[in-house]
Amino acid sequence: MSDDDARFMAEAIALGERARGRTAPNPNVGCVIVADGTIVGRGATAPQGRPHAEAVALDDAGERATGAILYTSLEPCAHASTRGPTCATIIAAAGVAQVVAAIVDPDRRTAGAGLAALRASDVSVETGLMADQAAASLAGYLTRVALGRPRITLKLALSIDGKIALPSGESKWITGEDARAHVHLERAHADMILVGRGTYLADSPKLDVRLPGLEDRSPRRALLTRGEAVDGWEILHSPQDVFALRDVNDLLVEGGSATATAFLAADLIDRIIIYRAPIVVGEGRNSVGYIGLDAIADAHGRWRAAVFAPLGIDRLEAYERLRS
Amino acid sequence: MSDDDARFMAEAIALGERARGRTAPNPNVGCVIVADGTIVGRGATAPQGRPHAEAVALDDAGERATGAILYTSLEPCAHASTRGPTCATIIAAAGVAQVVAAIVDPDRRTAGAGLAALRASDVSVETGLMADQAAASLAGYLTRVALGRPRITLKLALSIDGKIALPSGESKWITGEDARAHVHLERAHADMILVGRGTYLADSPKLDVRLPGLEDRSPRRALLTRGEAVDGWEILHSPQDVFALRDVNDLLVEGGSATATAFLAADLIDRIIIYRAPIVVGEGRNSVGYIGLDAIADAHGRWRAAVFAPLGIDRLEAYERLRS
C-alpha cells in the first residue's frame, strides 16, 4: 500500500465518520473514487441509511468512475433490496477497475459476498487498509451486528478526585467551555442519548446539539426509568432494554450516577469518555456506585486506555472495554 | 545562549536533582565546570548539605577550572560560614572565567550578593538559563525560603472514578508495578514522608525506598496524629506543624484519605501526584473528604496540570498549586 492509498482511505473514513449518528441501522460508510491520482467522487451513507456511500460517490464521479479505484471503509453490500441494486452490482456496472475496502462487512447477508461478486465481475479487490481506523469509526454498527445492541458510550465530567457534583448536587461547571462543546460533538455522532430519571427531573436536559451547522443532528432521547413515559422521550425500563432498540448504532449515556452504575453493573458500557477538570472537589457526589466489584483484582484487564488529550482547561480521557 | 549552554546547564540541574531529598536545609544544587567545550568537573550538594555543589565540582576539576565556565542551578552562596569560605570566594580564587547560574538564590543572606561578589572579582556572570527547570528541581528549597515550610506533595493511587480502595479497605493493588516503583523514586527524593494514624495502624508501612542502589535513601517518617509518639516516627499534631519542621525541603504525604483531606483543607498541598489505574471501582473509599468547598466555581484556578504520562499499565498525572 502506498502513502496515497492511505490518504484516500483516510478521506473515505473521515467522510463516513461525519455521517456517524444518523445512518442506523445502516453503517456510516465513507467512500472516495480516485482516477489518475485525483479524487473524482466522494460519498457517505445518507441519513436514514440510503443511498449507500458507494452509490453517492459513483453518482458524484459520473463517467470518471470508469477504470477508477474506489476506496470504501466497509465492504460493498451484496444483499438485494427492494430499494435498489446492490453496491457490488453498481460498482461493477460503472466500470470501476479496483475496490479497496478497509474491512469486510460482518453482516451475514454480505460477509465477503460483496467482494466475491466484485471479483466475479473482474473488479480487482483489496482489503485491510486502515482496518483499525475504519473499525473505530464503524464501532456502533459493528457492535450492533456482533452483540445485537448499540455500542454504548458513558460520558462523565469529573474532578481529579472523581466527583460529578457537590453534595448539594451543584455541578455547574466542573468542566470548561471546550469540554462542553465536545459533548455536543459526541451527541451529534450518537443516534440516541440516554439519561436517568433523576437527571431528567433535576436538569430537564434538552440533550440537543448546540454547535453551528450541526443543530439538526440532535439525536433521539431516552430515559432510564421504571416510571411512565414522557412526551418526546423513549423509555428504557432497564439497561437490558438496549437489546430491543431499533435503528441505534451509537448510544450515549449521559448520567447521572445511578444510570452510570446500572449500565456498568450490567457490563453494558463499551467506552467511557471522561472530561477531567483540574479541580479537587472533596466531599461530593460520586460518579459510580456499587457495580458488583468485590475484589480489586477483578477490576483489572477490563479497560484499555484509548485517548488522552488536553481539551481547553480540561483533559479528555477515553477508555474502551476489552472483550475477549 | 547556545545549545551547548543549555546542555551543560541541563547536566548541572540533573546532578542537583539526584541529590534532592538529602541536602536539606540546603538546596540540592548541581554544578558542572566546562573548559574548551568539555566538562572537566561535576558536583552536587553533598548529603546533609555540605560541601556545596560548586566546591565539589571545583575539587573535581582541579587546575582545569582556571579560565573555565561554571554552570550552576543556583547562585553561588555569599554568606560566610564557620564551615568554610563562600562559594563566590572559592570560585574566584580558582580562576573561573565565567559563572552561569540558572536562578538567583532567594535566601536573604545571598540574594544577588553571590553574583555581585563574583563580578567584583572580575568573574563574568549570567543568570536565567533554564530558570524554570532549575526552579522545578529546587522547588522544595524555594518553597521553604518563600513560605517557611517544605514543598508538600500529596501522592494518590486512584481508579478512573477516584477511589483509593473498596469499602472493605482493600486497595492491593489499584496500580501496577511500574507505578509502585515510581512511588519509591518519589520517596527517594523526599526528605520526609508522612502518613495518617489510620494508614499507620492498617498497613504499618515501612515507607522505605525499595529500588536497587537507592536503599539508603529512605527518608524520615512522620505520623499525623493527635495521639502519642511512635518509636522511629516523628509526630505532627496538625498540618500546621509543617511550619516547625527542621531540615525538610520536600515532604511527601502518602495518605490516607483523612490526612489528604486535612492537608488540602489547610491549603498545604503544593503538588498532587496521581497514579491513575485504568479500572472502575464504583462503591469504595474516596480519596478526599470535605475540604471546605461550597461552590464549584471556587475550585477552579487552583491547580495547573503539569505532567501526564503513561506509566506501565497506569498513567502518571501531576498537578501543581497555583499561588499568586
Reported as a single tens digit per residue, the pLDDT across A120-179 is: 999 999 999 999 999 999 999 999 999 999 999 999 999 999 999 999 999 999 999 999
Say yes or no to pLDDT of A94 above 80: yes
Statement to judge: residues B159 and B294 lie in one domain? yes
Question: In the predicted model, is pLDDT for residue B204 greater than 80?
Answer: no
> Distance (Å, rounded) from C-alpha A189 to C-alpha A18?
8
Q: What is the average per-residue pLDDT within B118-129? A: 95
Write out the three cell numbers for A281: 472537589
Min distance B169 CA to chain A CA atoms (Å) = 10
Does A299 share its domain with A168?
yes
The model's pTM is 0.91
Q: Which residues of A fall within a CB distance of 8 Å from B279?
A: 296, 299-300, 302-303
- Report residue A232's pLDDT band, with 50, 70 and 90 as the boundaries: confident
Judgement on whether residues A155 and A97 belong to the same structural domain of the protein: no
Contact predicate A184/A214, CB 8 Å: yes
**How much of chain A exceeds pLDDT 90, in percent?**
84
**Per-residue confidence (pLDDT) for residue A180, from 0 to 100:** 92
Among A142, A163, A192, the domain-final residue is A142
Nearest to B288 among A264, A280, A289 (CB): A280
Q: Which residue, A259, A276, A277, is CA-closest to A268?
A: A259
- A169: cell is 448536587
Are B319 and A264 in contact (CB < 8 Å)?
no
- Same structural domain, B300 and B210: yes
DSSP state, A218? P
pLDDT digits (tens, 9 = 90+) for B254-276: 988 999 999 999 999 999 999 99
- C-alpha cell of residue B227: 495521639
Beta strands B151-158 and B250-253, pairing class: parallel
A287–B166 C-beta distance less than 8 A: no
| Among candidate residues A120, A142, A164, the one where a domain is terminated | A142
Whether residue B318 has pLDDT greater than 90:
yes
Residue of B nearest to A164 (CA): B161
Chain A contacts of B287, Cβ < 8 Å? 161-162
pLDDT confidence of residue B210: 78
In terms of domains, do A195 and A130 share one?
A: no
- Mean pLDDT over A62-90 rounds to 92
A-chain CB neighbours of B296 within 8 Å are 165-166, 170-174, 279, 281
**Which three-class secondary structure string do you get for B257-295?**
HHHHHHHHHCCCCCEEEEEECCCCCCCCEECCCCCCCCC
Q: Which of A93, A117, A142 is the last residue of a domain?
A: A142
Q: How far is A174 from chain B (nearest CA, A)?
A: 7
What region does A67 belong to: left with phi over 0, alpha with psi -120 to 50, or beta? left
Q: Are residues B275 and B195 in the same domain?
A: yes
A20 CA to chain B: closest CA distance, Å?
27
Name the residues of A annotated as catalytic. Answer: 54
- Percent of chain B with pLDDT strictly greater than 90: 84
Q: Using the predicted structure, report yes or no on whether residue A208 has a pLDDT greater than 80.
A: no
Contact A278 B170 (CB under 8 A): no
CB pairs under 8 A between A and B: 143
CATH code, A119 = 3.40.140.10
Q: How far apart, in whole angstroms, are the C-alpha atoms of residue B78 and residue B84?
A: 11
CB contact under 8 A, A158 and B162: yes
Please calculate the CA angle B109-B322-B6 and round it to the nearest 5 degrees.
Answer: 60
Residue A265 — pLDDT band, cuts 50, 70, 90? Answer: very high
Q: What is the mean pLDDT of residues B304-319?
A: 96
Dihedral over Cα of A166, B263, A161, A294: its sign: negative
The total number of residues written for chain B in this structure: 324
pLDDT of residue A1: 60
What the block records as the C-alpha cell of A263 is: 449500565
Q: When comparing pLDDT for A29 and A200, which is higher? A: A29
**Average pLDDT for residues B60-75, to the nearest whole number?**
97
Nearest chain B residue to A285, by CA: B286
Dihedral sign, CA of B178, B179, B184, B188? positive
Q: Which segment of A199-203, A256-260, B247-251 scores lowest on mean pLDDT?
A: A199-203
User: Both A165 and A137 in a single domain?
Assistant: no
HSE-CB at A212 with a 13 A cutoff on CA atoms is: 0
What pLDDT band is residue B1 in, cutting at 50, 70 and 90? Answer: low
- Taken as a whole, chain A contains a residue count of 324
* In the predicted structure, residue B231 carries a pLDDT above the cut 90: no
Residue B205 and residue B180 in contact, taking contact as beta carbons nearer than 8 Å: no
**Which of B54, B186, B254, B320 is an active site residue?**
B54
Domain region containing B253: 149-321
Does one domain contain both A129 and A192? no
pLDDT for A217 beyond 80: no
Q: If we measure between CA atoms, which residue out of B191, B86, B162, B222 comes closest to residue A277?
A: B162
Flag if B303 and A315 touch (Cβ within 8 Å).
no
Residues A118 and A174 in one domain: no
Write out the DSSP string of A249-309.
Answer: SEEEE---HHHHHHHHHTT--SEEEEEE-S----SSEES----S---GGGGTTSEEEEEEE
Pick from B99, B34, B40: nearest CA to B68: B34
How many domains does chain B fold into? 2
Least Cα separation, residue B51 to chain A (angstroms): 41
pLDDT at B215: 75
Query: Looking at residue A300, which CATH number applies to its domain?
Result: 3.40.430.10
Range with the poorest average pLDDT among B71-75, B167-171, B292-296: B167-171
